[in-house]
Amino acid sequence: MDTPNGVDRLPDGPVRRIFNAAGQHNLDAMMAEFADDYVNTTPNHPSRSFTGSAQVRSNWSALFAGIPDLSVEVSDAATGTDGKVWVEWGSHGTRRDGTAVEQAGVGIFSLRGNQVAAVRFYLEPVDQDAGDVNAAVRAIAGTGSEGALR
């Protein structure tokens, strides 16, 4: 039977322990799973990439403090032949100012020993008001509002 937050879909090991700890807002337990020289690569926002577990602590401390009801949910997961763990996941909650926040995406976790050494991070805010697929294609293609790609 699946757990409500889907963590049971993750393989035993550091990635599962991270998501369990995040669900409990247990920052120290989360941090035990990251290598000190952890590398976070954010391909969609390269300037957000960083190295070092201290930044992980800073990020999650701010999230837990600013979104007291923050919850994480694993939608799906897979382990590659190279030992990487692919996780489709999201988070949601309400900021202290009453603003609802929701993110969704994928993280590709690389392990070294029994810790997470790196993640390729593709988590993004959910944008409910961005328009339909046609508007998105027009915006990317630069075709304006006429709708026809030329």
pLDDT tens figures, 31-86: 999 999 999 999 999 999 999 999 999 999 999 999 999 999 999 999 998 989 99
The sign one gets for the Cα dihedral 27, 38, 108, 128 is positive
Look at strands 115-121 and 34-41 and give their pairing: parallel
**Cα(91)–Cα(111) distance, integer angstroms:** 23
12 pLDDT higher than 70: yes
DSSP state of 145: G
Q: Quick one: which of 36, 39, 33 has its CA closest to 16?
A: 33
- Topology of domain 7-146 in CATH is Nuclear Transport Factor 2; Chain: A, (3.10.450)
| DSSP-based three-state secondary structure for 120 | strand
Spans of all domains in the chain: 7-146
pTM across the whole model? 0.88
Average pLDDT, the chain: 92
Reported confidence tier of residue 1, pLDDT bands at 50, 70, 90: very low
pLDDT at 4: 61
